[in-house]
Amino acid sequence: MKLLLPHIVISFILAVVFFNVSSFEGSANRYIFTAILIFSITWPLSYFFAKDYFRKLPSLMNLIVFFTKELLVANLRVAYDVVTPITYMRPCIVALPLDAKTDLEITILACMISLTPGTLSIALSDDKSVLFVHAITFKKMDPEAIKRDLKEGFEKKLLKITR
């Protein structure tokens, strides 16, 4: 992660150079050729510049897909509860023990939690070991299930990328 920016800059420079040099006239073929060429060049270079970049890319895509799914499900859940005559919302505050240690990990986790409807990061303990989250539980969901979902979902997938 430390040398990710130089790797991105080198990939961008190579993409610009090879996109202009490639001889394909069709736009789709030209893009595909350039993408394959840049990947085949930057992959061996990644061992010198950012060793974990290509190994962590699938985990990053997994986190993006997971976050998008959680965002859609939470939106639908909150919207359904708003339009139905009977409310199933039960607000609670949970203390989420953190495995995330760095400020970056904690910040990204808190932002993902706050961006998801129905949850909001409230505070961080002084020793940065507990994140307090306001959550809306639905029907029979208990606070322990919310903690488990946050730990096994957001935090676990985030730590797979940052460590």
What distance in Å separates the CA atoms of residue 48 and residue 162, rounded to the nearest whole number? 19
Mean pLDDT lowest among 18-27, 34-43, 114-123: 18-27
Give the tens place of pLDDT for each residue, 82-95.
898 888 788 889 99
DSSP secondary structure letters along 138-152: ETT--HHHHHHHHII
For residue 101, is pLDDT > 80?
Answer: yes
Mean pLDDT throughout 57-81? Answer: 88
User: Which comes out higher in pLDDT, residue 47 or 68?
Assistant: 68
Mean pLDDT lowest among 19-23, 62-66, 106-110, 124-128: 19-23
